[in-house]
Chain A
Amino acid sequence: MSETQTTADVDSEPAETSDQQSFLSVFARTVRNDRLALVGTIGLGITIFVAVFGPFVLPHDPTATNLDQMNQAPSFVHPFGTDRYGRDILARVALGARTSLIVAFVGVAVAAGVGVTLGAIAGYYEGLLGEGIMRFADTIFSFPALLLALAMVAIMGQNWYNVIIAVGVVYWPIFARITRGSVLSVKDEEFVQAARSIGESDFRIIGSEILPNITAPIIVQGTISMAVAILLESALSFLGLGVPPPDPSWGRMLADSRQFMTHAPWWTIAPGLAIMFTVLNLNFVGDALRDALDPHQGDEMEATR
C-alpha cells in the first residue's frame, strides 16, 4: 500500500529523523501545529510566572492572619476568598505553586538522573548486571507510588529533601526502562559499532553516542512524570506527610479546608483547581511533544502513576 501511505504522509510534516532536529525546533513546531500544546504551554507559563513572581506581585501576604476577615467568599479584594485565619487564598495558592513545582521538578530531575544512568548501564551491559538493575526497578515499581513515598517520608523524616528524594526513588524505574529500551535499540546501530571499532571506551560510547539519541523520549517522560509527581506531592501533603509547615502546599490547604468545606467551599476549590490546572497543562505539553517526536510510542508512559 505504498501509494496510500505516500498520500497519507503528505498530511504530516516532511519526514525527518528526530536526531536531525533540535528539541527546541520540534517544540516550536508542535506548539504551532497543536492547539492543546499551545494551551498547555501558555497555561504552564502562567503557573511558572505565578510561582516565581506571584508572592512579590500579589497585594496580600500569604501568612498574614486577619481575624476580621475569616472565611470570606471570593470578592474583589480577595479573588479566591480567605481561609479561617483570614489569610488570602490567592496568595497562598501562588506560594503553593512554588512548593509543587520545586518538588516535582527537582524530584523528577533526580529520578531522571538515576533512571537514565542505571537504564543506560542496564541496556549496555545486558548480562547479570543489566538484569539485576531491571529487577531492582521492577521491585520499586511493585510498590504503589504513594505508599512507598509515604513510608519513606515517615521513616526518614518529614522535610523538603526527603519529599524530593521520595519522588526521585518512586519514579526512577520508568526512566530506567525507557533508557534501557532506547539503548538496546541503538546499541547495534552502525555509529555505535563504529565508535567501538575505533576503540572508544564503553563510558564514552554511552555518554557521547547513545545518550544524545534518547533525549527526546526522556524529555517527554520528564514532562509527564512531573504531572504525576505534582499529584503525588499534593497527595502526600493532603495526608500530612508532604513539605512541612509553614511552607504552604496545595494538598495541605485542601486537607485544612475539609472541615469548613460546606460554608467556605472556595477554600477547598481553589487549591484543587490549581493542581488540576497544572497537571492538565503538563499533560497537554507532554502528550503533544510525544506525538510530535514519536507518534508510535502510544500512551504507555502515562499509565504508570
Chain B
Amino acid sequence: MSHDRNVETARIETERDQSNPPQQLLDISDLSVTFPSQEGPVEAVTDVSLSIEPGETVGLVGESGSGKSVTAATILGLLEESARIDGSVEFDDQQLLTKTDDELREIRGDRISMIFQETGSSLNPVLTVGDQISETIRTHRSIPNEGISRLETSVLGNLLRSKSHPTNYERSWEQTVELFERVGIPAPEQRALEYPHEYSGGMKQRAMIAMAISCRPDLLIADEPTTALDVTIEAQILDLIDEVQAEFDTAVLFITHDMGVVNEICDRVAVMYAGRVVERAPTDELFAHPKHPYTQALLDSIPSLEGGQTLDPLAGQVPDPTDKPPGCPFGPRCPSATACCDARFPPEYPVTTADEPLPVREGGDDDVPSPRRNDPTGHAVHCVLYGSGDGLAPRRSPSDEDRQNADRGRPETDGGEP
C-alpha cells in the first residue's frame, strides 16, 4: 500500500466525481496488477476499467490467463501481498484498495461474496458443509461477542469439535438450513451435517451459492462457477444464480470464458485479453455487432445448435505474461493487424453505428470521447479498426475470410500467397 497509490487514487476520484454520478455499486478504474517474478515484474492486469450497477449482471470474458480472476481477487483484496496494485476499486463509494485487511474482512462474505470455479476444492473436506456456511453467518450476522467463539478459533476446540454459544450457533444453523432449502438442496437438515465428499459437484456448487448469499451480499463474484460441471447441471446452476439474484437484488460479476453462458445470464459484457479489456458492450449489442477481432473469434467458437459450420478454435496463444508485445496484445493473433497495432495499444473508441467501422477521424486521442464517462452502458472497443487518432487506418477490415485465415498467422506474413 504505497503513498503513490493513494495519490493516484485521489486523482482518479476527483476526476470521476465531476464526470460520473455515483450510481455505480462497483467502479473499477485503470486497475493494474503486477506480480514480481524471477524474470522481472509480470503485469497480469493492465488499465482495466469496469463498473457494475446495483442488481446488474456483468460478464467478464476471456481465455484463462487473461486476468479475469486476478481482477476478481483484487476486488476482495485476496491477492498475495507481493502484488503491486495501481488504480482504483470503489465499492459503494468506498475505496477498497486502501482498506486494511481488517476493514476488508467486514465486506468480504457480507457485502461482496464469491463463488469459485473448482467445486471440488472450494469446501474444506474435514468440516461439515453446514458448518462452513453457518460460520459465515456467525461471522457477519451476530450480536457482538457471540459470533465465532473462542473455542471455535482454537486448535483444541476444533480437535474436540466443541461449539460454544449454543443459541447463536443454533440460530446460524437454522439460517443455514433455510438457505439449503432455498438453493434446492434436498433434505437440508441432514445434508447440512454431511461432509463435502458426500456431495455431487452440482450439490457442492449449490452449497457454495448458499454460502455466498448467506449474508445477502450486494455483489456476487462468480468465477467460472459452472466450468467444472456438466451441461444439465450448468443450466440448473445458472438458473439458480439468476433466481437468487432477482430475489436478493444482488449484482453479479460473472467471470467466464464461455460466450454461451454470457448470452444466457449477463446484461453487459467486458471482454478481456492478456490483462486488458478490449471490448465492452451490452450483451445483445455485443452478440449482434462484435467489433474487436478477438470478440468475433470468441463468438465464432460457440458451438451452434444448428450444426453446420463448426468452430474455428482461436489459433495461437495468449502472450507470455513476461514478454507481452508492446502494442496491442492481440496483434500477433489478429487477422487484421497492421503496423500501428504493434506500436501501441489503441485507445478505447465508442462504437456508435452498429454495423460499420467508424470513419477515420481527425485529431488526437484526447478528442476521442470515452464511453465510460458519457455512456456507461455503451459499446466501446480498443481497436484501431473502429477509430483512429493517428490516421493509421487498417488496410483491410476483418471479414470472415480473414478470420478463417487466423490460424495461419497474420495476413502480413503470408500476404504473398494467392
Inter-chain CA distance A10–B38, complex, in Å, is 8
Which residues of chain B in 111-133 are interfacial with respect to chain A, using CB atoms and an 8 Å cutoff?
116-118
Q: Nearest Cβ distance between residue A280 and chain B, in whole angstroms?
A: 27
Q: Is B19 among interface residues, defined by CB-CB distance under 8 A?
A: no
**Contact B38–A1 (Cβ < 8 Å):** no
Which residues of chain A in 145-174 are interfacial with respect to chain B, using CB atoms and an 8 Å cutoff?
none
**Contact A10–B68 (Cβ < 8 Å):** no
Q: Is A6 among interface residues, defined by CB-CB distance under 8 A?
A: yes
Q: What residues of A have a CB within 8 angstroms of the CB of B42 in the complex?
A: 7, 10
Total interface residues on B, CB under 8 Å, equals 22
Who on chain A is nearest to B320 by CB?
A10
**Contact B38–A7 (Cβ < 8 Å):** no
Q: What residues of A have a CB within 8 angstroms of the CB of B79 in the complex?
A: 4
Interface string of A41-64 (1 = CB under 8 A from B): 000000000000000000000000
Inter-chain CA distance A153–B67, complex, in Å, is 63
Q: Is A21 among interface residues, defined by CB-CB distance under 8 A?
A: no
Total interface residues on A, CB under 8 Å, equals 8
Q: Is A11 among interface residues, defined by CB-CB distance under 8 A?
A: yes
**Contact B70–A3 (Cβ < 8 Å):** yes
Q: Is A201 among interface residues, defined by CB-CB distance under 8 A?
A: no
Q: From known contacts A6-B64, A6-B321, A10-B322, infer whether A1 and B223 are also in contact, taking CB-CB under 8 Å.
A: yes
Q: Is A2 among interface residues, defined by CB-CB distance under 8 A?
A: yes
Which residues of chain B in 20-51 are interfacial with respect to chain A, using CB atoms and an 8 Å cutoff?
35, 37-39, 42, 44
**Contact A4–B70 (Cβ < 8 Å):** yes
Q: Is B66 among interface residues, defined by CB-CB distance under 8 A?
A: yes
- CB within 8 A of A1: which of B37, B117, B321, B322? B117
Which residues of chain A in 1-46 are interfacial with respect to chain B, using CB atoms and an 8 Å cutoff?
1-4, 6-7, 10-11
Who on chain B is nearest to A8 by CB?
B35
Inter-chain CA distance A2–B321, complex, in Å, is 13
Q: From known contacts A1-B69, A1-B117, A2-B69, infer whether A7 and B223 are also in contact, taking CB-CB under 8 Å.
A: no
Q: Is B73 among interface residues, defined by CB-CB distance under 8 A?
A: yes
**Contact B65–A11 (Cβ < 8 Å):** no
Who on chain A is nearest to B322 by CB?
A10
* Interface of A, helix, strand, loop or mixed by DSSP: helix
Inter-chain CA distance A112–B316, complex, in Å, is 46
Inter-chain CA distance A125–B150, complex, in Å, is 52
Q: What residues of B have a CB within 8 angstroms of the CB of A11 in the complex?
A: 37-38
Inter-chain CA distance A10–B67, complex, in Å, is 14
**Contact A6–B65 (Cβ < 8 Å):** yes
Q: Nearest Cβ distance between residue A215 and chain B, in whole angstroms?
A: 28
Q: What residues of A have a CB within 8 angstroms of the CB of B322 in the complex?
A: 10
**Contact B321–A7 (Cβ < 8 Å):** yes
Who on chain A is nearest to B227 by CB?
A2
**Contact A7–B70 (Cβ < 8 Å):** yes
Q: What residues of B have a CB within 8 angstroms of the CB of A1 in the complex?
A: 69, 73, 116-118, 223
Q: What residues of B have a CB within 8 angstroms of the CB of A10 in the complex?
A: 35, 37-39, 42, 321-322
Inter-chain CA distance A7–B322, complex, in Å, is 9
- CB within 8 A of A3: which of B37, B39, B68, B116? B68
Which residues of chain B in 166-197 are interfacial with respect to chain A, using CB atoms and an 8 Å cutoff?
none
Inter-chain CA distance A2–B228, complex, in Å, is 13
Q: What residues of A have a CB within 8 angstroms of the CB of B68 in the complex?
A: 3
**Contact A3–B69 (Cβ < 8 Å):** yes
Inter-chain CA distance A215–B42, complex, in Å, is 35
Inter-chain CA distance A4–B66, complex, in Å, is 10
**Contact B66–A3 (Cβ < 8 Å):** yes
Who on chain B is nearest to A10 by CB?
B37
**Contact B44–A7 (Cβ < 8 Å):** yes
Q: What residues of A have a CB within 8 angstroms of the CB of B37 in the complex?
A: 7, 10-11
Of the A-B pairs whose beta carbons lie under 8 Å apart in the complex, a sample of 6, sorted by A's number, is A1-B73, A3-B67, A4-B69, A6-B64, A7-B42, A10-B37
4 residue pairs, one from A and one from B, having the closest CB atoms: A2-B64, A3-B69, A10-B37, A3-B70
Name B residues whose Cβ lies closer than 8 Å to a Cβ of A.
35, 37-39, 42, 44, 64-70, 73, 79, 116-118, 223-224, 321-322
Name A residues whose Cβ lies closer than 8 Å to a Cβ of B.
1-4, 6-7, 10-11
